[in-house]
Amino acid sequence: MTDWQIFTGKSDPHDDWELPESPKWRPFGKEIDPNQSRSQIRGETFQPREEEIKMVNAALYLRRPLLITGKPGTGKSSLAYAVARELMLGEVLYWPITSRTILKDGLYNYDAIARLQEVKQQQKSSELSREEEKEQQASSIENYITLAPLGTALLPSTKPRILLIDEIDKSDIDLPNDLLNIFEEGRFEIEELVRLKKEIPSVNVRTAYTADISHEIIEGKVICTTFPLVILTSNGERDFPPPFLRRCLRLTMKEPEKEHLVKIIAAHLGQEIADPNNSKKLNDEALNDLVDNFITQRDTKTLANDQLLNALFMVIKGRISTKDELIKQLLQDLGQVEEDE
């Protein structure tokens, strides 16, 4: 079948085409809330298991970070958004980790260069006294400090803020240990404000929320009143030091079995493709075989759930055969791709 193809590879330009409805997990321009991220929408369709539900509740009760380990695409990040949605905890604070990430990156950012430029400009154009000039410089510092995700999560609140620290296993070897004191104390200082606490005891600084919310900081100290729900994700690429593990609750997110996978598919692609009389089976035999084949391939390949969703969407909306060569391309081994690169 070729009638599903919008791009034909022929030289004749044409505009008599339109796209089908987008996948539920890629709804660009169709969000109910324009400020809602793609990841937040994933929280609506996430299907948690019983052990995952229990560990989230344990983390809430014990005020402990939850370290989730699992293969790519198993829903580690989506769990954070599902919790935030159900408990109405607001925006998930997202902190992606790389090998260059340090603790301060998660706490706050201070644009020293921009502030220095402003101070020099003020000195050139102002005729204020030395004391007035010093006071003006101190009061302007709040414009150059922004709390980062971890710093924002530690702000005082009546309910826990929710923080997703993504791919902690990619971090520098020192970062997990650097987080220990923060997790234990639930507080930190903004050095630039501590130095000026006599001249300016309180300032309002921007937070990491996308709505650009500001918050008052007194004497440069941030002290949490309710420990945030911290979810750290790991692909299992490294081991962590025992002191770090001791301060975390640990959850291994397994690949879904057939019954759970069908629930995930139904949540994303609609209940109509699932058999209402059999929660372990889709109502189309070809689709059901595709899912079975996906589960079998997972034994020897690294495959993510969203790869299967992409393939199913093309079968349903593109109306291509489950045996089409495109399906094989969509279900390529992620581990093999990494090796080839």
Write the DSSP string, 95-158.
EE--TT--HHHHHEEE-HHHHHHHHHHHHHH----HHHHHHHHHHGGGGGEEE-HHHHHTS--S
Q: Edge-to-edge, what's the strand order for the sheet holding 162-166?
A: 93-96, 162-166, 229-234, 66-69, 249-252
Query: Averaged over 168-173, what is the pLDDT?
Result: 94
3-state secondary structure of 235: coil
Q: What is the rounded distance in angstroms from the CA atom of residue 90 to the CA atom of residue 70?
A: 25
- Listed by start position, the domains of the chain span 41-252, 257-340
The contacts of residue 311 (CB under 8 Å, 6+ apart) are 290, 294, 322, 327, 330, 331
Which segment of 12-16, 164-168, 249-253 scores lowest on mean pLDDT? 12-16
The contacts of residue 259 (CB under 8 Å, 6+ apart) are 279, 280
* pTM greater than 0.85: no
The contacts of residue 12 (CB under 8 Å, 6+ apart) are none
- Cα 152 to Cα 183, 217, 271: the distances in Å are 14, 11, 39
80 falls in which pLDDT band (50, 70, 90)?
very high
Q: What is the rounded distance in angstroms from the CA atom of residue 141 to the CA atom of residue 203?
A: 8
Which segment of 84-88, 308-312, 318-322 scores lowest on mean pLDDT? 318-322
Question: Model confidence over 320-341: pLDDT tens digits?
Answer: 899 999 999 999 998 874 444 4
Which architecture characterizes domain 41-252 according to CATH?
3-Layer(aba) Sandwich (3.40)
108-111: long-range contacts (C-beta < 8 A, 24 or more apart)? 108/145, 108/146, 108/147, 108/148, 108/151, 108/190, 108/205, 109/145, 109/146, 109/148, 110/144, 110/145, 110/190, 110/192, 111/144, 111/145
27 falls in which pLDDT band (50, 70, 90)?
confident
Question: Model confidence over 44-66: pLDDT tens digits?
Answer: 788 899 999 999 999 999 999 99
Q: What is the rounded distance in angstroms from the CA atom of residue 76 to the CA atom of residue 83?
A: 12
